[in-house]
Amino acid sequence: MSTLILDKNAVRRLLGMPEVLSAVEEAFRLHAEGKAAMPPKAYLTVERGDFRAMPAALPGCAGIKWVSVHPGNLSRNLPSVMAVIIYNDRETGYPLAVMEATIITAYRTGASAAIAAKYLARKNSRTLGLIGAGYQAHTQLMAHAGIFDLEKVNVFDISAEAVSNLIKAFPDLPLRRSSIEEAAASDIVCTLTPSRRPIVKREWILPGTHVNAVGADAAGKEELDPAVLKAATVVVDDLKQAASGGEINVPVAQGIYSPDEVYGTLPEIVAGKRRGRADERQITVFDSTGIAIEDIAVAKLIYERARAQGGYPQVELV
Amino acid sequence: MSTLILDKNAVRRLLGMPEVLSAVEEAFRLHAEGKAAMPPKAYLTVERGDFRAMPAALPGCAGIKWVSVHPGNLSRNLPSVMAVIIYNDRETGYPLAVMEATIITAYRTGASAAIAAKYLARKNSRTLGLIGAGYQAHTQLMAHAGIFDLEKVNVFDISAEAVSNLIKAFPDLPLRRSSIEEAAASDIVCTLTPSRRPIVKREWILPGTHVNAVGADAAGKEELDPAVLKAATVVVDDLKQAASGGEINVPVAQGIYSPDEVYGTLPEIVAGKRRGRADERQITVFDSTGIAIEDIAVAKLIYERARAQGGYPQVELV
């Protein structure tokens, strides 16, 4: 027995968004059917940031993502978020692989939002609005382009350079620089910022819009005017995480919004336990916080592809 | 930046019990002084076993041990317990190393029991009793021999072969095969079995004995007659873990023993917040369950030694 070591270059080479979309959708279905196991995230807090342990099991596999979040790293020319997955055989516990997981996180986050849009956005959605043009915008774009036939992608960022870089990175997609209002007036809107105050106004969101609220990932962060949540059908990936650190966390803490108002979870909708969009004028919001089954599902994909292709380094780790 | 990959052979080469004893003792002191961080273990339960996430931070470092416990593995010729540590820079979160941790676990468990004996056993202790002669007996022996001048080591196991193998492995130490009663009548007694019923009787334990109760590591396991606990000053590594899965767990569940009867924690004693042995006739028991700061302290030792020596494989993991 041996353990595959898959570094960032290997993971990048082995990842493809179409397969990630299928793997994450299937993980949601299994989760809603009670075939996954996922204890709550465990937090280890230190002076300059924190570490999060995200264990999960799916049929045939198990593992843990260990993520560090150190916001001050940018001044040291290091990413603020770094993640590693230990991927195990569920039957024996054997550690089959250790792999870079920052890229996996970006892909699965993009995929889960696009899967939310698949079930919640209007079927004829043709315009995508990206608010925030950082690294997460790349995978959001790839994922949505894998499901929707996009005619226009409106990109807003406070950094003009970030917008230009995104447009250059996808020469075959119909990207254009836009105002935040134009981006918010798209059929599908993805908010991808680290904002701590609402930046998307209620009046900008048209009837029938689907919003993926992705940026808020900790207590105190929010991107949407709470009136958007009040007007919308809100779907979460995990209710407890959403209430404590997702888009709804600030309005919940302020008593403006109650977790009881949440319609349901994306896994429930994927598994057919709840219906998706009800009509053409409904506003829908997916509050994405990220759950460990998404990571382990993608790790499984990468592991199996690496084994099938061969040639990746392996060690007798244990 | 790069991540060191330290497999089982590297870890075995880099580990020395004297340094492990110092590192674990220092970790206990830091913990009692509030300089460590250690959220509770997270459990991921699957059909054939479970996985445990054990995060911890010490000054300058942080990390997580991810352990699988799959009792049925022995029939597949695989260890039942396998562990991996991701070792991080506390300041930036960077994953500095990924290392095998089953051997680390054995070493730190031996060290923590010997440190307990250092503070709780009689200073003139000369005989060691090992009840159970499996792999853990090796590291218990190494650790106690690093602190005490042993004149006799009484070894009992239901497997005569295990006893022979242990004796052969330590030709320079005064090991002898003994009955369980003789082993229990030693100055320091280590119980190292997977027993689920008491195997050490109250009347075998002499006044002044120190017992390291190491085997019980899950609900339902116990090795000592509860009357030993009632007669003894009981010290734990972590009270919550001890009450739910350590030596005291069964008597606590049966209402025979209360967690309130526990004298204190080993970290408190090491830090001088509580005194150790009071007199020559006191019976003391250390209920060892294993805590993550022990693992991360040893990981730090290994990492620093590997970096200093050089020549170990490294990858651009993240």
- Closest alpha carbon within chain A to B54: A53
| Contact list, A7 vs chain B (CB under 8 Å) | 315-318
Q: Chain-wide mean pLDDT for chain A?
A: 97
- The strand ranges marked E within A7-149 are 42-46, 49-58, 61-69, 81-89, 95-100, 127-131
Is B188 contained in some domain?
yes
* pLDDT tens-place string over residues A30-57: 999 999 999 999 999 999 999 999 999 9
Whether the pLDDT of residue B179 is over 90: the answer is: yes
Q: Which two structure tokens, joined as six digits, stand for A292?
A: 């460990």
Would you state the pLDDT for residue B219? 92
Cα A193 from Cα A201, distance rounded (Å) = 15
Would you state the pLDDT for residue A271? 98
* pLDDT tens-place string over residues B112-167: 999 999 999 999 999 999 999 998 999 999 999 999 999 999 999 999 999 999 99
Beta bridge partners of B87: B63, B97
- Mapped onto helix, strand or coil, the DSSP state of residue A23 is helix
B144 and B218 part of one domain: yes
- CATH number of the domain at B251, please: 3.40.50.720
Q: What percent of chain A has pLDDT over 90?
A: 97
Q: Is B135 on the interface with A (CB under 8 A)?
A: no
pTM for the full model? 0.95
Total domains in the fold of chain B: 2
A177 and A99 part of one domain: no
Q: What is the DSSP letter of B37?
A: B
Q: How many CB atoms lie within 10 A of CB A63?
A: 30
Q: Is A8 on the interface with B (CB under 8 A)?
A: yes
Confidence of residue A233 (pLDDT cuts 50, 70, 90): very high
Is A112 contained in some domain?
no
**Cα four-point dihedral sign A243, A247, A253, A258:** negative
Average pLDDT over residues B38-62: 96
Would you state the pLDDT for residue A221? 95
Task: Report CB contact under 8 Å: A8, B317.
Answer: yes
* pLDDT tens-place string over residues A177-216: 999 999 999 999 999 999 999 999 999 999 999 999 999 9
Whether the pLDDT of residue A74 is over 90: the answer is: no
A85 and A135 part of one domain: no
Catalytic residues of B: 65
Task: Report CB contact under 8 Å: A68, B79.
Answer: no
A139 and A273 part of one domain: yes
B135 and B273 part of one domain: yes
Q: Chain-wide mean pLDDT for chain B?
A: 97
Length of chain A in residues, anyone?
A: 318
Is B147 contained in some domain?
yes
B170 and B216 part of one domain: yes
Q: What is the DSSP letter of A183?
A: H
Average pLDDT over residues B275-301: 97
* pLDDT tens-place string over residues B53-97: 999 999 999 999 999 999 899 899 999 999 999 999 999 999 999
Cα A315 from Cα B7, distance rounded (Å) = 7
A177 and A92 part of one domain: no
Would you state the pLDDT for residue A1? 87
- CATH number of the domain at B94, please: 3.30.1780.10
Would you state the pLDDT for residue A142? 98
A85 and A139 part of one domain: no
- The strand ranges marked E within chain A are 3-6, 42-46, 49-58, 61-69, 81-89, 95-100, 127-131, 152-156, 175-177, 188-191, 196-200, 210-213, 222-224, 233-236, 264-265, 284-287, 314-315
* pLDDT tens-place string over residues B202-250: 999 999 999 999 999 889 999 999 999 999 999 999 999 999 999 999 9
Q: What percent of chain B has pLDDT over 90?
A: 97
* pLDDT tens-place string over residues A98-135: 999 999 999 999 999 999 999 999 999 999 999 999 98
Cα A24 from Cα B213, distance rounded (Å) = 45
Is A195 contained in some domain?
yes
Would you state the pLDDT for residue B1? 87
A297 and A284 part of one domain: no
B23 and B82 part of one domain: yes
Residue span of the structural domain in which B297 resides: 3-104+293-315
Q: Is B43 on the interface with A (CB under 8 A)?
A: yes
A255 and A268 part of one domain: yes
